[in-house]
Amino acid sequence: MNQADQTDRPPEYRTLVADRMTWTVRSDMTHLFDGPRAVNWSRLADEPGCRVVKSGPHRSVVYLERAGQSGRPSTGLYVKMHHYPRLTDQLHYLLRRSRVEREWHMLLEARARGVSCVPPVAMGERRRGGFIAENYLVTEAVTDGVGLKEFVTRGLRTFRPEARDGLLRRLGEQFGRFCARLHQAGIYQRDFHAGNILVTVVPAGFEFTLLDLHAAQVRGSLGLGACIDNLVSLNGDLSPVVPAGVRMRFFAAYVAGHEFLRGRFAQYCRLIEERSQRARRRGLPQRDRRCLKNNRRFRSVRRRGLVGHTVRDMIELPEKVLDVIPSPGMSQPHARVVKHSRTSTVWEQTLDLVGLRLTIFVKRYNRKKALAPVRDLFRGSRAMRGWRVGHALRNRRVPAARPLAAMERRRLGLPVESLLVTEAVTDSETLTVVVAEGLRGPAGSRKRRRLTEALAGWVRRLHREGFTARDLKPNNLLVRDVDGAPEIVLVDFDGVSQVHVPSGRQRVRDIARLAQAFVGEPAVRDVDRMRFLVRYLGPDGRDKRVRRRWWGLISHKGVARRAT
């Protein structure tokens, strides 16, 4: 059924009792609760076609596929269950609506106001002594719906390259009009981010659907402050993946019917951008600490005397890594030693996980100095530092290999051995190989220019996000092709430090270390070095005096390094 038709003709709902719960059910879905094809809600996981989408201490979501009635196609349903593990949560909802009931009424009200949201199917709740024992919210799956951020980052790749820019601009304009209608209807979504919005491609362009309205509010009219708050939250979530030009088109479409904002377009664009960046920076430290806790993405592990952390979707990874630890000079069927030195041993390993064949790199750190464990007691082992830095880089959209696990062995409280596991970057080559072999031939000049600009942009982003890398070597950087453009990926986190703002001396040191590796390389010319510098400096690179000063500092630092 078309969503517009559902909005024009509100469906009827019935109240019934099933599985000792009181349900409010859409009239065309009562067969799910009564009759031979009813769902056993108390044992939902045993139902055929049931798949767990999300499981956590406060909320669980499962997907359920059910055959339609009278030869109709099957229906996909999402069942959301809120949990209240703490007594304070139970007391909070003792005399007020639960999250499920609040979201149910919010869905009905939003659809009555003409806002597209997921079609509600049923709501059930059972209380014991006034306390919530069970509650369920059942909504209908949106056919071909994709999360907004996933569509921007992955879904657009399914279209022809020449059509992607136009589609993205069109998406921004139509989404701006959708958000304007949402606010005009008086809907204030306190949890407004790209993960709560579904995108469906239709012949006329795009359709948008709201999810997770348990934190939303209905107001008679939405003030300017509430609108700005929503736009700031949304812009902060999408700014790392959506170009500034598309976000400007979004805001232009949003203010088209708002005379006050239309007359102050540039002023409010700057305001939203500045507030988004401040909010993003405030939230990043808390997000960085998630990799050291148990949550939906990470989990602490203890295996064979080693303790550490791993990504939750690969909980069996540490055990498989420890099963095959190669020794130098010895061959293993699924492990190949890549590097063996006094400080570390690196091997490549292929694992067969559940439904996945994965290639990883494992780095085992050797103790360099007798006092190293004492220092690591306060700053963390090298593997743990690499684990934190790797996820901090990825949280800031700096391309880096994905850390999968970090473990360490302690004696008398001191870390004496540590392992860092990272995912292999597929279809890539080291920067050294690309420069030496990939810049030849008639197309070499164009490739060199694109590679130089990509490398300068990566270093600029690294420093702008508050990181320095004292061991920035070409062998630690991989180059891969993404949509026809080169992308630089960092694979070794040794020497990477997180600071508030890198000093000029640290920035010069990093660039000089990288430039030193290409001294004597015929494929790298002075014009390429100057192009790198101009791209790295950004607007300041237009000033000839600034370029000369940086060129002199980098050259002096490089000569000093070669002399030592």
259-298 pLDDT, tens per residue?
888 888 889 999 999 999 888 888 889 999 999 998 878 9
Higher pLDDT, 306 or 510: 510
Is it the case that residue 70 has pLDDT exceeding 80? no
Share of the chain above pLDDT 90, in %: 33
Q: Residue range 308-329: average pLDDT?
A: 69
- pTM as predicted: 0.77
Is it the case that residue 563 has pLDDT exceeding 70? no
Q: Residue range 128-153: average pLDDT?
A: 87
The answer to whether residues 499 and 468 touch, using CB atoms and an 8 Å cutoff, is: yes
Is it the case that residue 313 has pLDDT exceeding 80? no
The model's pLDDT over 152-191, given as tens digits with 9 standing for 90+, comes to 888 887 888 788 888 999 999 999 999 999 999 999 988 8
If one counts every other C-beta atom within 10 angstroms of the C-beta of residue 543, the result is: 11
Q: How much is the pLDDT for 384? A: 92
Share of the chain above pLDDT 70, in %: 90
Which residues are CB-neighbours of 289 under 8 A, at least 6 positions away? none
Burial class (CB in 10 A: 0-12, 13-18, 19+), 274: exposed
Q: How much is the pLDDT for 496? A: 93
The answer to whether residues 25 and 122 touch, using CB atoms and an 8 Å cutoff, is: yes
The answer to whether residues 534 and 457 touch, using CB atoms and an 8 Å cutoff, is: no
Q: Residue range 410-432: average pLDDT?
A: 87
Q: How much is the pLDDT for 71? A: 54
What tokens were used for 541? 């690179």
- Least trusted range by pLDDT, from 370-384, 412-426, 474-488: 370-384
Q: How much is the pLDDT for 325? A: 59
Q: How much is the pLDDT for 73? A: 66
Strand order in the sheet with 344-353: 298-303, 306-311, 403-411, 414-423, 356-365, 344-353, 335-340
Q: What confidence tier does 492 reach under pLDDT thresholds 50, 70, 90?
A: very high
Higher pLDDT, 415 or 196: 196
Higher pLDDT, 206 or 7: 206
Average pLDDT, the chain: 84
- CA dihedral angle for residue 331, residue 334, residue 338, residue 344, rounded to 10 degrees: -90
How does DSSP assign 73-127, residue by residue? PPEEEEEEEE---SHHHHHHTSSS--HHHHHHHHHHHHHHTT--BPPEEEEEEEE
Rounded to an integer, what distance in angstroms lies between the CA atom of residue 138 and that of residue 131?
21
